[in-house]
Structure 1
């Protein structure tokens, strides 16, 4: 099980990766949606804002009431961000649960 600090660093790493992506890649990830990620094993929820291909305002929250809600374990979060776990297979096997519109699901593929 990863620590809360490792997970927060992973989110900030994802934010940096998105911010440093070329404009074409950022356009593919262009959404204006609130995002939350519940880490089941840590009982922690992180939230942020996906806007113009960037992940902004990352913080811990008490409630997962975002437009895009993800649920996973802390280890799976680290693997997703590192590129060691493909989002499509994690979602298909139930390791990652996503509550979002179909349009948002398609856009999220380019984020992870």
Structure 2
């Protein structure tokens, strides 16, 4: 089981990878990740290609909601877990508008 700090680092690493890719993305949405095995929620904001203001929260309400385990979050952010496969097998639950899902495909 990954720690809360490892989950934060993975989300930060993901945004660094996106920024280094040089892809310009017009994206401004709140995102929450409910981490089931740590019984916590990390919440922040995607602005462009960066995930900022990552903090623990009580309320998972956001434009984009992820539900997954800590290990799956770390694996997804590192590129070791295919997002589409994780959704198809129930390892990742994603709630977002269709437009946001299409933009997320570019990010993840």
Alignment TM-score, normalising by the size of structure 1: 0.89
**For residues 71-86 of structure 1, what are the structure 2 equivalents within 5 Å?**
71-86=67-82
8 Å contact kept, 1:26–1:54:
no
Unaligned residue ranges in structure 1 (runs of 5+): none
8 Å contact kept, 1:15–1:54:
yes
Structure 1: 4+ residue segments shifted above 3 A: none
Aligned twin of 1:17: 17
Is 1:105 aligned with 2:101?
yes
Give the count of matched residue pairs.
108
Is 1:92 aligned with 2:83?
no
Aligned twin of 1:5: 5
8 Å contact kept, 1:18–1:55:
no
8 Å contact kept, 2:41–2:56:
yes
Alignment TM-score, normalising by the size of structure 2: 0.93
Unaligned residue ranges in structure 2 (runs of 5+): none
CA RMSD of aligned residues (A): 1.2
Aligned twin of 1:38: 34
